[in-house]
């Protein structure tokens, strides 16, 4: 029996997840040793038809990163699903939508209007925007459909496992690969990371007072951040309490609060709503006007609470456009 | 159940499941059977309402009011008012296709 | 997963069946996933209905039960008990209210039936997610703490003691009796207050089951129904109550004289004193705030005493040199020792009755009445002392100049029934104002008495008669005014002028020597402190909030803590005593010696394996039921203290807190199914 076949594909993503693989450093050699890559557009020269020519389920595992925002991405996800035994949603965008998912606060028209007409750097006198079909001399050119809504990978195909993070940290990637290779896998649908909140391992936890309370909310650029004190205790919104652990606190160690790229724990359905609930609860005011004053001082609450998870949220997108 | 038990997820779940409006009714501030659950509800309500606006959910669709057990008339008035407001706004989630839910 | 759900539909006579198509419901319910059978009954809460339910559940052996009937407020408990009879875990049951929420409010039968279906669908889905919950029992202490020894607290303490309960009666003053100890006579029958009160006070002092702890306040309360531990701070009074016989020999030589707060500063007392003649227990108190030994010479006290002529120059020199021992020397029984310190007493109890009484609204807040500026303007309580035989004038109605007033105005509703101050009616002012009028008429015959009222509030037996009898008196003039009061008191050269506009808009300029105000009754100063310490809620007006206005007037939001008397709201002595008795009854039925206490099963629960220790929940708990385990760095819920409100569960950002019987899963299922 040959080495297990592996595919690595990207959808709506930044390329950071591919970088994460490179960040495995020497470990990548172990991976290459153990598996056979059959598809990895960013690194190797395979074509779609190479995938199409494989048998159903022939690929042992496909790692798909990025959210689904175009018809082509959905098509490729479905193709890989058909050809793979396992599909792993790799990284925050495939897992919960990621930052591309913030586009769900607008729609295709708004995006196109900005990108092709209204952005100050544009020069588009002919008002040309991409068309799905364009007739040219040699025939018809096609572009994939650009969706109104960004989806998570599991909203378009069945996903077996999730590797969270923007991007997933190398240790979790290696653990996942080892688990897959050894067949020692948890229950289907699991997120391959600890199922506790980030505070569990956060070094700043010890500085948090037992009775958490917030009287003022500040933004990171407005104050000198104490490099040791709990962000929430400094009035800085930190999604750590509502975010799954396992990232190694890379942001926290760089003195930046958590933005929630690992998504919620398994017990939560809507990360943003649950963070909202926790944050609002510890606002230390009972007077309605005071409560409103503090709440109004939060700039773009939905954008912060769903920094990474809007497509995976209960409402998924802005509903009136 | 105390209004303090109301998890914003419940509200979103209701909208997600097709509710066109969500009304939370609680005991008056200072009169909470569980001491101050309603204050927690009040804080969550205001933040959630602000956030729902960003989701394109009209303010009229989400309301918190205080009605005690002895305020039958107010209860009726609040319900009627809420129903009228929501009816005027019409259905919320019309394009399930776009959301790929359900 | 298949779960066997049994659905029972109650027709509630015609209450439900008239407006909902029961056959349609039965058909609909039978087709729902997991439903094994559907049965209907004419009246499930009747004896026949309950027997049917118990035997049918025993026979059918469902894994879950849904009862489609009325509001769970009415019969959830009934059906839980019935299910228990069939050895069925009562928490594997869900009730659907299609009476109050459907049949009685949705007029169209077809619409009502559809609505009922949605509720049933939700309940069936929810109940499959229920978990069996088991009741827990704990041992409990049946001793009782009563805070406040006024009429309500005394009544409660006596009744409990008679039933054999150990009672710790804590009183902040050095005497028992509360405000009533200050009154001369009480309305409407003009009974002698001290004659009425003394036998009760005496019983309090001598009942072996009552430990009376005076000059004390409760400073810490921990625990829960059946298991409270309290700390009581007792001020050092320096007088040994076992040795003291109350002879009073110690006050005479005391060189310090200060205003007597018992008489609202209308008389003087010594540093070692008894607040009034007849105070019980009859043991003097050494007021360390004013005693020379404690206040020390550098406080200027002695200098002031000299300046006021209270001591001679010689005495002054003496006191400056040495610590005063005048009272100790005068005591023939060695009852006075100066090295006493405040002490903390610790007691374990099972329940608490709070009966801390009231205070009066400060009328100087409303300048038009002149209180605090014009010497002859008094509050009702001050006037009570003027009328009292143990008061500053020995029971004679005299002004500060020693003269008898020739005219007197009594003003009702000062600060009450007024949006700017207190919105409520203080409930007793009309009647005590009438009492004042009656007593003034007696003490100062021929004096003109003006009773300026806004409305009469004299409900109950005898009171109307009392009012009517005074209306016949020729020297008592009743002036009917509107609210807010347009009454102003001004100091003239010889007397006061009281201007008041009556209901007809007529200006009534009156001359009065004395003015008595009836200020609003407000919560005692200690109310908010106790509210915080005991975690019991106060209402908008600041009084302790009762469990239910009509049905639970002496309960609070905290199990095992009851309220009685004016701390719950303004009321007369009779009602305070009734509440004291009611609270005692509550205590007697909630904690019975030898009986274990059943704990609430619907509580929050923290999952120690998933808690990250973010501490969001800790400060949210109104019952302080969540502790932070510093070793494991996780939150721990004390399920004995937890009342199951769910505030913490809603806030837990990583879903480690579970609200038993109201889990996310169960509520989500209900929402989804109702809206399907």
Question: Rounded distance, CA A239 to CA A230, Å?
Answer: 11
Q: How many CB atoms lie within 10 A of CB A206?
A: 12
pLDDT at B33 over 80: no
Which chain B residue has its CA at the smallest distance from A271's CA?
A: B9
Contacts of B9 in chain A (CB under 8 A): 268-270, 273-274, 277, 314
pLDDT band at C519 (very low <50, low <70, confident <90, very high): very high
Inter-chain touch A277–B8, beta carbons under 8 Å: yes
* Residues C642 and C625 sit within 8 Å (Cβ to Cβ): yes
Query: Is C535 near chain B, with CB under 8 Å?
Result: yes
Q: Is the pLDDT of residue C302 over 90?
A: no
Q: Which of B2, B16, B38 to mutate to test the interface with C (most CBs of C within 10 A)?
A: B2
Neighbours of A, requiring at least 3 CB pairs below 8 Å, are: B, C
Cβ contacts of A286 on chain B, cutoff 8 Å: 29, 36, 39, 42
**What φ, ψ does residue A29 adopt, rounded to 5°?**
-65, -40
CATH topology of domain C5-133: Rossmann fold (3.40.50)
Angle, vertex CA C498, rays to CA C493 and CA C499, nearest 5: 125
Greatest distance between any 2 Cα atoms in chain A: 72
Which of chain C's residues have a Cβ under 8 Å away from the Cβ of A200?
Answer: 612-613, 633
Residue C623 confidence class, pLDDT cut points 50, 70, 90: confident
Query: Which residue in chain A is spatially nearest to C633 when comparing CA positions?
Result: A200
Does residue B101 have a pLDDT over 60?
Answer: no
All CATH 3.40.50 domain ranges of chain C, comma separated, are: 5-133
The per-residue pLDDT for B102 is 42
Selecting from A200, A209, A211 the residue whose C-beta is nearest the C-beta of C613 gives: A200
DSSP A55: P
- Residue A120, token pair as written in the block: 């100050």
Query: Does A213 sit within 8 Å of C652, measured CB to CB?
Result: no
pLDDT at B94: 66
Going from the C-alpha of A111 to that of each of A105, A123, A144, A146, A221, the distances in angstroms are 10, 16, 16, 10, 28
pLDDT at residue C299, rounded to an integer: 53
- Predicted local distance difference test score (pLDDT) of residue C298: 54
- Reported as a single tens digit per residue, the pLDDT across C330-359 is 999 999 998 888 999 999 999 999 999 999
pLDDT number for residue C495:
85
Residue A34 CB neighbour total at 10 angstroms: 14
Residue A146, SS3 per DSSP = strand
Average pLDDT score, chain B: 91
A-C Cβ pairs (cutoff 8 Å, strict) = 83
Q: Are B2 and C645 inside 8 Å of each other by CB?
A: yes
For C32, other C-beta atoms within 10 Å of its C-beta total 18
Q: In what order do the strands lie in the sheet with C476-480?
A: C377-379, C514-519, C407-414, C448-453, C476-480
- Cα–Cα distances in angstroms (integers) from residue A303 to residues A269, B53, C397, C632, in the given order: 18, 12, 75, 34
Contact B35 C649 (CB under 8 A): no
Q: What mean pLDDT comes out for the span C634-659?
A: 94
Contact A320 B58 (CB under 8 A): yes
What whole-number distance in Å separates Cα of residue C568 and Cα of residue C184? 25
pLDDT at C19: 96
Cβ–Cβ gap A208/C612 under 8 Å: no
Of the listed ranges A115-119, B2-6, C277-281, the least confidently predicted one is C277-281
Binary contact (B7, A274; C-beta < 8 A): yes
**Mean predicted confidence (pLDDT) in C78-93:** 96
> Contact at 8 Å (CB) between C367 and C275?
no
- Pull the structure tokens for residue C436: 């004042």
> Interface partners of B (3+ CB pairs, < 8 Å)?
A, C
Nearest to A105 by CA among A318, A321, A319, A320: A318
Q: The tokens of B35 are what?
A: 């001491």
Average pLDDT on B56-74 reads 94
Q: What pLDDT is attached to residue C600?
A: 84
**How does residue C321 score in pLDDT terms, banded at 50, 70 and 90?**
low
Q: How far apart are alpha carbons C394 and C382 in whole angstroms?
A: 13
Mutate to test the interface with C, among A194, A197, A214, A242 (most CBs of C within 10 A): A197
Question: Could you report the per-residue pLDDT of C115-159, keeping only the tens digit for each?
Answer: 999 999 999 999 999 999 998 888 999 999 999 999 999 999 999
pLDDT of residue C213: 97
> Would you call C539 an interface residue with chain B, using a CB distance cutoff of 8 Å?
yes
Q: In this predicted model, which residue has the larger pLDDT, B32 or A188?
A: A188
- Every domain range in chain C assigned CATH 3.30.70.20: 600-660
What's the pLDDT score for residue B96? Answer: 66
State yes or no: pLDDT of A199 exceeds 80.
yes
Q: Are A64 and A89 in contact (CB under 8 A)?
A: yes
**Is C646's CB within 8 Å of B5's CB?**
yes
Checking if the pLDDT of C549 tops 90, the result is no
Question: What does the pLDDT read at residue A2?
Answer: 83
Task: List CB contacts (< 8 A) between C619 and chain A.
Answer: 210-213, 282
- Over residues A118-127, the mean pLDDT reads 93
Classify each residue of C108-137 as buried b or exposed e, where b means 16 or more C-beta atoms within 10 Å of its C-beta: eeeebbbbbbebbbbbbbbbbbbeebeeee
Mean pLDDT in residue range C543-572: 93
pLDDT at position C294 over 90: no
Domains delineated in chain A: 5-99+149-182 (3.40.50.700), 109-147 (no CATH), 198-312 (no CATH)
Q: CA of B25, closest CA in chain A: separation in Å?
A: 16
Helix (H, G, I), strand (E, B) or coil at C412: strand
Superfamily of structural domain C136-235+342-347+533-594: FAD/NAD(P)-binding domain (3.50.50.60)
Q: How far is A252 from chain B (nearest CA, A)?
A: 25
Task: Say what the pLDDT of residue B1 is.
Answer: 78
Task: Tell me if C218 sits within 8 A of C232, measured CB to CB.
Answer: yes
Which residues contact residue B102 at a Cβ distance below 8 angstroms, ignoring those fewer than 6 apart? B96
Judge whether residue A253 has pLDDT over 50: yes
Binary contact (A281, C664; C-beta < 8 A): no
> Which residue among A285, A291, A318 places its CB closest to the CB of B55?
A318
Q: Is residue C300 pLDDT above 80, yes or no? A: no
Nearest CB to C653 within list A195, A197, A213: A197
CB contact B54 to A (< 8 Å): yes
C462 to chain B, minimum CA–CA distance in Å?
Answer: 31
Instruction: Tell me the average pLDDT across A155-182.
Output: 96
Cα–Cα distance for residue pair C493/A156, rounded to 1 Å: 94
- Inform me whether the C-beta atom of residue A211 falls under 8 Å from chain C C-beta atoms: yes
Q: What's the pLDDT band for C322 if we cut at 50, 70, 90?
A: low
Can you tell me the ipTM of this complex? 0.96
**Site from C94, C650, C653 to mutate, B interface, most B CB atoms within 10 angstroms:** C650
Q: Name which CATH class applies to C600-660.
A: alpha beta
Take residue A119 and report the two structure tokens written for it. Answer: 């952005």
CA distance B80 to chain C (A): 13
Domain ranges in chain C with CATH number 3.50.50.60: 136-235+342-347+533-594, 358-522
Give per-residue pLDDT as tens, A254-275: 999 999 999 999 999 999 999 9
pLDDT digits (tens, 9 = 90+) for C197-242: 999 999 999 999 999 999 999 999 988 889 999 999 999 889 998 8
To the nearest whole percent, how much of chain A has pLDDT over 70? 100
Contact between chains at A197 and C654 (C-beta distance less than 8 A) = yes
pLDDT at C293 over 90: no
Q: Mean pLDDT, chain C, as a whole number?
A: 93
* Rounded Cα distance, C47 and C45, in Å: 7
pLDDT at C426 over 60: yes
Q: pLDDT tens-digit profile of B8-26?
A: 999 999 999 999 999 999 9
CA of C610 to nearest chain A CA: how many angstroms apart? 5
Percent of chain C clearing pLDDT 90 (strictly above) = 81
SS3 content of chain A, % helix, strand, coil (to 5): 40, 15, 45
B44·C650 Cβ contact <8 A:
yes
A277–C650 C-beta distance less than 8 A: yes
The predicted model gives C299-316 an average pLDDT of 74
pLDDT of res. C640? 82
- Report residue A148 CA to chain centroid gap: 18
Please give the pLDDT value at position C305. Answer: 75
The dotted CATH code for C358-522 is: 3.50.50.60
Strands (E), C317-390: 343-349, 351-354, 358-360, 377-379
- So what's the pLDDT on residue B95? 67
pLDDT over threshold 90, residue C439: yes
Establish if C622 touches chain B: CB-CB under 8 angstroms: yes
Most C CBs within 10 A among A201, A281, A304, hence the mutation to make, goes to A281
Which residues in chain A have Cβ-Cβ distances shorter than 8 Å to B15?
314-315
């Amino acid at each position: 029996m040959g080495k297990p076949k592996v595919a690595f594909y990207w959808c709506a993503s930044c390329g950071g997840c591919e970088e994460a693989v490179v960040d495995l450093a020497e470990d990548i050699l172990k991976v290459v040793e153990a598996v056979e890559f059959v598809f990895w557009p960013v690194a190797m020269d395979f074509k779609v038809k190479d995938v199409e020519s494989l048998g159903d389920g022939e690929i042992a595992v496909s790692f798909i990163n990025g959210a689904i925002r175009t018809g082509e991405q959905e098509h490729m996800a479905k193709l890989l699903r058909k050809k793979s035994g396992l599909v792993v949603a790799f990284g925050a965008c495939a897992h919960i939508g990621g930052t591309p998912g913030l586009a769900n606060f607008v729609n295709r028209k708004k995006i196109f209007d900005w990108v092709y007409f209204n952005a100050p750097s544009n020069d588009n006198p002919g008002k040309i925007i991409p068309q799905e079909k364009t007739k040219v001399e040699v025939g018809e050119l096609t572009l994939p459909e650009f969706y109104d809504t960004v989806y998570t990978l599991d909203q378009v195909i069945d996903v077996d496992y999730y590797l969270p993070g923007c991007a997933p940290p190398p240790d979790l990637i290696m653990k996942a690969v080892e688990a897959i290779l050894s067949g020692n896998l948890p229950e289907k649908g699991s997120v391959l990371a600890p199922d506790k909140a980030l505070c569990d391992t956060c070094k700043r936890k010890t500085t948090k007072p037992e009775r958490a309370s917030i009287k003022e909310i500040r933004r990171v650029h407005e104050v000198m951040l104490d490099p040791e004190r709990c962000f929430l205790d400094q009035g800085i919104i930190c999604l750590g309490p509502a975010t799954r652990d396992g990232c190694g606190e890379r942001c926290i160690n760089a003195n930046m609060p958590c933005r929630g790229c690992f998504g919620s724990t398994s017990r939560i359905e809507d990360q943003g709503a649950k963070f909202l609930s926790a944050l609002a609860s510890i606002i230390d005011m009972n007077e309605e006007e005071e409560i409103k004053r503090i709440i109004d001082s939060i700039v773009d609450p939905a954008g912060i609470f769903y920094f990474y998870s809007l497509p995976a949220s209960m409402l998924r997108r802005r509903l009136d456009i | 159940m105390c209004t303090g038990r109301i998890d914003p997820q419940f509200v979103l779940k209701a909208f997600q499941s097709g509710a066109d409006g969500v009304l939370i009714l609680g005991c008056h501030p200072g009169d909470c059977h569980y001491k101050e659950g309603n204050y927690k509800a009040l804080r969550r309500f205001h933040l959630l309402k602000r956030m729902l606006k960003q989701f394109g959910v009209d303010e009229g669709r989400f309301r918190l009011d205080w009605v005690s057990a002895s305020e039958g008339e107010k209860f009726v008035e609040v319900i009627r008012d809420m129903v009228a407001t929501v009816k005027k706004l019409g259905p919320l989630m019309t394009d399930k296709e776009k959301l790929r839910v359900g | 997963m298949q779960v066997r759900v049994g659905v029972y539909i109650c027709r509630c006579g015609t209450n439900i069946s008239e407006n909902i198509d029961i056959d349609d419901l039965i058909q609909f319910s039978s087709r729902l996933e997991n439903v094994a059978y559907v049965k209907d009954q004419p009246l499930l809460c009747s004896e026949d209905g309950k027997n049917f339910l118990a035997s049918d559940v025993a026979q059918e052996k469902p894994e879950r039960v849904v009862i489609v009937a009325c509001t769970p407020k009415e019969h959830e408990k009934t059906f839980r008990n019935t299910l228990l009879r069939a050895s069925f875990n009562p928490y594997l049951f869900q009730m659907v209210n299609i009476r109050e929420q459907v049949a009685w409010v949705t007029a169209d039968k077809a619409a009502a039936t559809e609505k009922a279906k949605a509720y049933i669908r939700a309940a069936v889905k929810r109940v499959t997610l229920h978990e069996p919950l088991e009741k827990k029992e704990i041992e409990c202490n049946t001793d009782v703490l009563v805070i406040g020894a006024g009429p309500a607290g005394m009544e409660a303490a006596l009744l409990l003691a008679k039933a054999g309960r150990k009672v710790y009666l804590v009183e902040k003053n050095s005497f028992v009796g509360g405000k009533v100890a200050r009154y001369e006579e009480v309305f409407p029958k003009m009974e002698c207050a001290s004659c009425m009160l003394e036998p009760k006070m005496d019983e309090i002092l001598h009942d072996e089951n009552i430990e009376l702890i005076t000059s004390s306040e409760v400073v810490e309360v921990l625990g829960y129904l059946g298991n409270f531990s309290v700390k009581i701070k007792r001020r050092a009074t320096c007088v040994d109550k076992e040795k003291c016989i109350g002879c009073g020999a110690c006050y005479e030589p005391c060189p310090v004289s200060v205003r007597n707060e018992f008489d609202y500063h209308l008389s003087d007392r010594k540093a070692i004193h008894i607040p009034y003649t007849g105070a019980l227990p009859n043991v003097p108190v050494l007021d360390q705030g004013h005693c020379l030994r404690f206040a020390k010479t550098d406080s200027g006290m002695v200098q002031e005493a000299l300046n006021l002529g209270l001591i001679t120059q010689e005495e002054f020199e003496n006191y400056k040199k040495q610590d005063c021992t005048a009272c100790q020397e005068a005591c023939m029984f060695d009852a006075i020792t100066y090295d006493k310190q405040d002490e903390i007493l610790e007691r374990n109890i099972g329940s608490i009755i709070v009966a801390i009484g009231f205070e009066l609204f400060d009328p100087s807040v409303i300048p038009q009445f002149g209180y605090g500026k014009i010497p002859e303007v008094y509050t009702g309580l001050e006037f009570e002392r003027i009328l009292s035989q143990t008061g500053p004038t020995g029971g004679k109605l005299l002004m500060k100049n020693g003269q008898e007033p020739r005219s007197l105005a009594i003003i009702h509703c000062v600060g009450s029934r007024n949006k700017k101050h207190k919105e409520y009616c203080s409930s007793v002012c009309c009647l005590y104002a009438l009492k004042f009028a009656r007593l003034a008429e007696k003490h100062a015959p021929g004096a003109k008495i003006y009773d300026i009222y806004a409305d009469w509030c004299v409900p109950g037996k005898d009171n109307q008669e009392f009012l009517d009898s005074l209306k016949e008196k020729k020297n008592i003039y009743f002036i009917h005014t509107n609210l807010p009061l347009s009454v102003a008191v001004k100091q003239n050269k010889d007397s006061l002028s009281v201007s008041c506009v009556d209901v007809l808009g007529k200006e009534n300029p009156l001359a009065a020597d004395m003015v008595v105000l009836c200020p609003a009754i407000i919560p005692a100063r200690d109310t908010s402190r106790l509210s915080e310490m005991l975690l019991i809620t106060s209402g908008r007006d600041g009084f302790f909030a009762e469990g239910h206005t009509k049905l639970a007037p002496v309960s609070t939001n905290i199990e095992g803590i009851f309220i009685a008397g004016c701390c719950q709201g303004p009321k007369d002595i009779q009602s305070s005593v009734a509440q004291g008795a009611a609270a005692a009854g509550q205590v007697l039925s909630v904690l019975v010696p030898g009986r274990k206490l059943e704990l609430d099963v619907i509580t929050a629960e923290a999952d120690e394996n998933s808690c990250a220790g973010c501490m969001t929940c800790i400060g949210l708990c109104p019952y302080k039921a969540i502790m932070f385990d510093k070793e494991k760095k996780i939150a721990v819920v004390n399920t004995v203290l937890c009342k199951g409100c769910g505030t913490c569960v809603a806030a837990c950002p990583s879903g480690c807190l579970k609200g038993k019987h109201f889990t996310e899963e169960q509520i989500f299922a209900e929402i989804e199914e109702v809206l399907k």
